[in-house]
A and B are shown apart, each in its own frame.
Chain A
Amino acid sequence: MARYIIKRLINAFVVVIAVSVLVFVLTRAVGNPINVMLPLDAPQAERIALAHQLGIDRPLWVQFLSYSDGVLHGSFGNSWWQGIPAMTVVGQRLPITLKLTFYAFLIAIIFGIPLGMLAALRPRSWLDKLASTSSMLGISIPNFWLGLMLILVFAQKLHWFYTSGLGDWRHWVLPAVALGVLPLGRITQVVRTEMLEQLREMYVVTARSKGLAEWLVVSRHALKNAGIAVVTMSAWEIGRMIAGYTVVIEVVFGVSGLGDLIVDTIAHMDYPLLQAITFVVASFISLLNLVTDLTYPLFNPRVKFE
């Protein structure tokens, strides 16, 4: 077990390094940050001076060495755009995105698991149709549109919640719902498919034929075996939220988290900050995958780590 974790951690480390190198090379291949950072009509001398100050007039390999040296010493440098250490900026924004993702995920599992189970237990019933239709809707509605509609109805017209910003729970409900709808749809579908499959298995037939109560058959046997697929899908969706969906949702709801920061960072071509963000997100997702794999034995004791 310990060996397995160490092996996986080394793996994760390699992935994070690879992502960092890739981001380093790709950012430097697209355009010139000087053009973005300075006003459109800045004089030539100022452009040259700034390029020198930022060190981007040096050969690429020299820049990479100095970047690597910084990272090995725990420093990602100062954000060009904000003028403070890049990791400090990430540290300010990350908790907001994690909190939003947590709420959205809570909504997704609290609604998704029961809905998927009920649909599987009564296939082709109205409940099943409702679950399938709503999960399809959840997956296919563009989340920026859903976000704007939620704002229009529940904030602007009904005044139940705030349109945007951070604060008490009435600020969090709308963005969490808008963010959670897509994972909710996916989790409902996975739970339904997995449960249908499990309910056809021989062990379920056996359990039923020996007279076990139906709810015990469903909860203790079928759901537990469907667990691996549900956990895997959940981790995948959490990763997608942090490294993707939050970008749109945070911009729409004026939530200044990591997603909102990524947009501004790319617009400013702030290399140090972009590198810090991708490093943190890649590390987080690698660890999330590891933790997910480690939960498998809870659902299936036959899973062994070597």
Chain B
Amino acid sequence: MKRFKFVLLSLLAVTLVVSMAGCGGGSTQQSSAPKDSVTIAIPSEPSTLDAQYADDGNMRDVTDNVVESLLQLNGQTMKVEPSLAVSYSQTGATTWDFKLRPGVKFSNGDPFTADDVVYSVERQISPALKSNIAGNFDTIKSAQKVNDNEVTITTTGPDLNIPQKISLLKILDQKWMQANPTAVNTSTIIGTGPYTIVKWDRAQDIVLARNDSYWGPKPAIKTVTFRFIEEDATREAALNSGEVDMAVNMLPEYVPSLPKVITSEGIESGMVRFNAMSGVFKDPKVRLAAIYAVDDAALVKSLYQGYAKVSNPMLQKSGYIGYDGNLQPYPYDLNKAKQLLAASGYKGQQVQLVGESGRWLKDGELVQTVGQMLTQAGFNVSVKTLAFSDWLTILFDRSKAPDMIFTFHSADTYDVDRTLSTYVESTGPGSAYPNTLDKAIDQARTEIDPSKQQSEYDAISQTLYNDPAWIPLVSIDSIYGVQKNVQYKPRLDGVIDLTAVSLQ
């Protein structure tokens, strides 16, 4: 009898669940959402809100709107602008002076002072923090308070890139941090920015509210909810179903089905690094042949459906320190490639092109296509696609450098030195280039006269143009899917700027 009841009950439950699903209430669309709040879908949840500890996934989309730095980078030009400092000047080879903005308050009401700046710099460079972004600030030695509105920052050696680096160094509220030492890891962070954190429901969402005591212009949107949706197709569905107002990192093939699309250039650039030290590519003619054989414009058009840009030879964007504006992208010239190859000693030896798949948009296809293009020019290419961690190990081991290896590069400190010291200088972690430029790179890095530094970088760029270290490929555009009523002006670095969001 009992068993029979169980069967009956099961059937009843089935009917119940089905009917519940059938009459599943109204719609999930948020049609009556107030006009001054938006929900944004980002792929990954920040692991922490400690903006000095990490630069993880989509963390800066949240924290850059809450915590500010002494200086900031203009989202369109990537040039340094005042923020919590109204002005700055280099007072010596290794000293920089910052005049602080008066009358600024943290969102909790604490006044912003020189002590907060000294505290923030010291915390950021302290080894005890174990910061993953410590490398951005490795030339900063100390900070001293001059008076309540002035701070001096001292570097370990000459470094003209200090303003860029300072724009990444977040200023925290000393009083609050010392009273709540672990809150940044678990719940919130206090800053001077245009937004404050209302609540962080781990694994669900982060809600931000406009900081009405903000010193700068008042943003249009009052409440912002960040939701974390890793799967691209699900993020697209969330936008199309009306659950979110903006979805970042949309794929080119989604564009026709989205309500509205806003795009921006990206700053990460694809490239294929040569082993210029030994093997076939020791000869610069063979390297140039490979460069002329790759049709970047075709990659933009066919692989990325137009949502990408051809990279310049130095993989730089204008506005970066050391950017050489005279350097044009290499043209695509298959005949020239074949001639160069014939003039070199290349006898059809097999060359290896190592790539990976799944980290960047269509990276696997990109490597395969480049391999095909090289084959057409007469190279005997063998493409090898590795798992990400294996690929990384090979990329960063100079002694195991393959003939060619594919990667994406972004100069995180917005200067050409990051690129050169990584992939050209013989001590660089990703370098497979002889030490011929080491001296010039070091000279330019420690230069104290900006115009002299620029001409030194131009000379290095020119040398590399003819004796290259990599094949420049393309930088992929950022695609934002938005609802029809959403207006947004994206930043070049892809970080979401909530003050640039508005609703019609």
Contact = CB atoms under 8 A, between A and B. Distances in A.
Contacts of A216: 1, 4
Contacts of A117: 7
Given A165-B229, A166-B204, A254-B230, A36 B389 contact: yes
B17 interface: yes
Bin chain A's interface residue count.
35 or more
A223 B205 CA distance: 46
B430 interface: yes
Interface stretch (B116-124, B159-167, B407-415): B407-415
A260 B229 CA distance: 11
B234 A254 contact: yes
A113 B186 CA distance: 44
Given A159-B27, A159-B29, A163-B238, A43 B135 contact: yes
A130 interface: no
Contacts of B238: 163-164, 254
A39 B55 CA distance: 9
Interface stretch (A16-24, A44-52, A236-244): A44-52
Interface in A87-110: 92-93, 96, 107, 109-110
A40 interface: yes
Given A41-B422, A46-B134, A53-B130, A30 B21 contact: no
A53 B127 contact: yes
Contact of A110 (B3, B17, B50, B237): B17
B228 A170 contact: no
Contacts of A170: 24-25, 28
A297 interface: no
B173 interface: no
A67 to B, nearest CB: 18
A220 B185 contact: no
Nearest to A253: B234
B361 to A, nearest CB: 16
B390 interface: yes
B421 A159 contact: no
A159 B203 contact: no
B298 interface: no
Interface in B388-443: 388-390, 392-393, 395-396, 407-412, 418-419, 421-423, 427-430
Interface stretch (A2-10, A57-65, A69-77, A147-155): A147-155
B56 interface: yes
A156 B237 contact: yes
Interface in B203-219: 203-205
B342 interface: no
Contact of A39 (B135, B235, B388): B135
Contacts of A166: 203-204
B132 interface: yes
Contacts, number: 198
Interface stretch (B8-16, B75-83, B344-352, B464-472): B8-16
Nearest to A222: B3
Nearest to A79: B47
B148 interface: no
A251 B205 CA distance: 15
Given A39-B412, A83-B54, A32 B229 contact: no
A220 B6 CA distance: 11
A219 interface: yes
Contacts of B56: 81
A167 B30 CA distance: 15
Nearest to A219: B3
B416 to A, nearest CB: 12
Contacts of B428: 43-44
A220 B28 CA distance: 45
Contacts of A123: none
A263 B430 CA distance: 26
Contact of B10 (A31, A113, A152): A113
Of A46, A49, A117, A161, most B-chain CB atoms within 10 Å: A46
B430 A162 contact: no
A216 B4 CA distance: 7
Contact of B205 (A50, A165, A264): A165
A30 B389 contact: yes
Nearest to B418: A41
B53 interface: yes
Contacts of A187: none
Contact of A41 (B48, B53, B132, B419): B419
B138 interface: yes
B6 A219 contact: yes
Given A82-B185, A219-B7, A35 B127 contact: no
Given A31-B389, A40-B430, A41-B419, A114 B10 contact: yes
Contacts of B395: 35, 40
Contacts of A39: 55, 133, 135, 410, 412
Interface in B358-407: 388-390, 392-393, 395-396, 407
A111 interface: yes
B11 A114 contact: yes
Nearest to A220: B3
B240 interface: yes
B201 to A, nearest CB: 8
Given A155-B28, A155-B237, A163-B243, A219 B4 contact: yes
Of B4, B6, B412, most A-chain CB atoms within 10 Å: B4
A216 B405 CA distance: 70
Contact of B407 (A40, A44, A50): A40
Interface string A264-279: 1001010000000000
B135 A257 contact: no
B295 interface: no
B410 A111 contact: no
A260 B48 CA distance: 17
A39 B48 CA distance: 17
A256 interface: yes
A160 B203 contact: no
Nearest to A111: B14
Nearest to B16: A110
Contact of B47 (A40, A81, A96): A81
Contacts of A220: 1-3
A83 B48 contact: yes
Contact of A161 (B4, B28, B54, B412): B28
19 contacts: A41-B409, A41-B412, A41-B422, A46-B135, A46-B138, A83-B54, A111-B14, A114-B11, A148-B233, A155-B243, A164-B227, A165-B204, A167-B204, A220-B2, A252-B233, A254-B227, A254-B230, A254-B234, A256-B228
Interface of A: 30-32, 35-47, 49-50, 53, 79, 81-84, 92-93, 96, 107, 109-111, 113-114, 117, 148, 151-152, 155-156, 159-167, 170, 173, 215-216, 218-220, 223-224, 251-254, 256-257, 260, 263-264, 267, 269
Q: Which 3 A-B pairs have the closest CB atoms?
A: A31-B389, A219-B3, A256-B203
Given A164-B238, A257-B203, 5 more contacts: A35-B395, A37-B132, A42-B135, A46-B134, A164-B243
